[in-house]
Amino acid sequence: MSSPPLEYYSRSKGSGLPYGPCDFTEETVEKEVLPGRAGNYAIGYTTPMGGFVVKIIGGSDNDLQEKLLTELDTARKRGYDRFCFKYASSPKERFEHECLNYHSFQRQLDNKEHPQPPSGTELECPDTICARFFQSGRKLS
Ligand SMILES: [Zn+2]
């Protein structure tokens, strides 16, 4: 692929997380992220050039704010001080967006585990290569 270096994700680049980067602190999370909403997030740090480097991606189907707060300790220890997020209108939307973020930033992420489909669903990752190789393997097992 001839895309720009993944490290230099910017808000306009289709990662689809329109809010942020915000300071990743308890105060900001509680102020900026509404409680009880589903959504997706990316945690990382900003470079001197202004790019946002994604290191952790994730999501929640019940409470994005709470999930983000559980990431704070780890992120702080590693020096990640910014986050971006979006709300999701359904578990399916959350899952598919998390998959896309995962595959876009896979090589640089700290969390290497593939996103999980919402509990009780058989949703497939929208990434076609992943669906073919990873998920076909899952079904066989
Ligand atoms: Zn996938």
Distance from C-alpha of 102 to C-alpha of 135, rounded to nearest angstrom:
15
Query: At a CB cut-off of 8 Å and minimum separation 6, what does 9 contact?
Result: 15, 42, 51, 52, 53, 54, 105
Q: What are the residues whose beta carbon lies below 5 Å from ligand 1 (ion)?
A: 99, 125, 127, 130
Distance from C-alpha of 12 to C-alpha of 29, rounded to nearest angstrom:
22
Determine the pLDDT at residue 134: 61
Give me ligand 1 centre to Cα 138, in Å: 11
Give me ligand 1 centre to Cα 69, in Å: 25
How many Cβ atoms are within 10 Å of 20's Cβ, its own excluded? Answer: 21
Determine the pLDDT at residue 68: 98
Beta bridge partners of 40: 59, 86
Q: What is the pTM of this model?
A: 0.84
Give me ligand 1 centre to Cα 131, in Å: 6
Condensed to tens digits (0 to 9), the pLDDT of residues 54-113 reads 999 999 999 999 999 999 999 999 999 999 999 999 999 999 999 999 999 988 999 889
